[in-house]
Amino acid sequence: MLNVLAETENSNGIAVTFDSWIKNGKNEKLRLSFYQSVLSAEIEKLESQLNLSLDAVPIIISGMASSSIGMTELPYKEIPFCIDGYDLYTELLDANTGFNHTSLIISGAKTNDDAIRGEETQLAGCVNGNNRNEHFFIFPGTHSKHITVRNGKAVDIKTYMTGEFFELLSKKSILSYDIEPGEDITSAENKKAFEKGISDSQQLNLLNSVFLVRTNRLFNNLSKHENYFYLSGLVIGEELKEIINLKLPVTIVGNEWLIRYYSAALTKLGLHGIKYLQASKAVINGHFNFFKRNESALTTRPIITP
């Protein structure tokens, strides 16, 4: 059993970090050390929480760190790839006098027209004897990912810009005047509005149905809070439209509130027996799997002096 001893997070994602590096002079030779300095600041926070030194502790890094705007760019692994991550591209970075942590960076995977970075590591943290053969994984979020697994390999990837589309509509469009974030979806009124959005998404064209958010307020059909959940139901329902007749077992990997939304949506669509896993747990499990596979290299490499 893996236990979280400390954690830290902030809102400065990869785009913000990359922009900071550009403003810092965009010196390609210093790119890696700049990103490592960002990591060092977060490691210090963990040390403060734990009241102990993390000097020389190996680090596993996944997600956009291996992208073109990350600390070092790695190529995508083309599908199919092993769901335990065995054949994904990785790179070991030696510890140095400025950053005394040997690091393993994990790359993403791609099809001819789609890609993931980060979800492949979460997928590796979901592996068990029940989902190695045929399984369907949904990783909801800003860019929701659907991954199809057969015979222990990921064979298809599809991305849905669900979260980003909702953000644009709810904050940047005329619909922003007709909605307000409400309480949790579990309240009766909000759940009813959300389920109506799910149902309407299956019958209507999305470009038409989103205008109903506007008329819901014009005609006093829904409150602004209810309208928020109606819009959410429309966009999530649109994402899930293609899997209504899916014959594979399904697992949702996400944070707690996204799991609640997708659970309600899938139940409304008539899909049952869905399994759920916290994304944070999947990441930890995935990172630990990569650590065990590379433990010798991560713990015996020398410090390199720049």
Find, among 121, 135, 136, 127, the residue nearest to 88 by Cα: 121
Alpha helix ranges (H) inside the chain: 14-23, 31-50, 119-124, 162-172, 188-203, 206-209, 211-218, 224-240, 256-268, 279-293, 295-300
Say what the pLDDT of residue 301 is: 73
pTM for this entry = 0.93
Domains in the chain (CATH in brackets) are 162-280 (3.30.420.310)
Say what the pLDDT of residue 306 is: 57
Q: Taking CA 280 as the corner, what is the angle to CA 149 and CA 270, rounded to the nearest 5 degrees? A: 50
Sheet holding 103-106, edge to edge: 59-61, 103-106, 90-93
Give the pair of three-digit tokens for residue 166.
């909702």
Cβ atoms 71, 20 nearer than 8 A:
no
Say what the pLDDT of residue 305 is: 61
Which segments in the chain show pLDDT lower than 70? 129-131, 305-306
Residue type (1 letter), 141:
G
Q: pLDDT (tens digit, 9 = 90+) per residue, 235-255?
A: 999 999 999 988 899 999 999
Say what the pLDDT of residue 102 is: 96
Buried b or exposed e, range 249-288, using 16+ CB within 10 angstroms: bbbbbbeeebbbbbbbbbebbebeebebbebbebbbbbbe
Phi, psi torsion values for 284, nearest 5 degrees: -60, -45
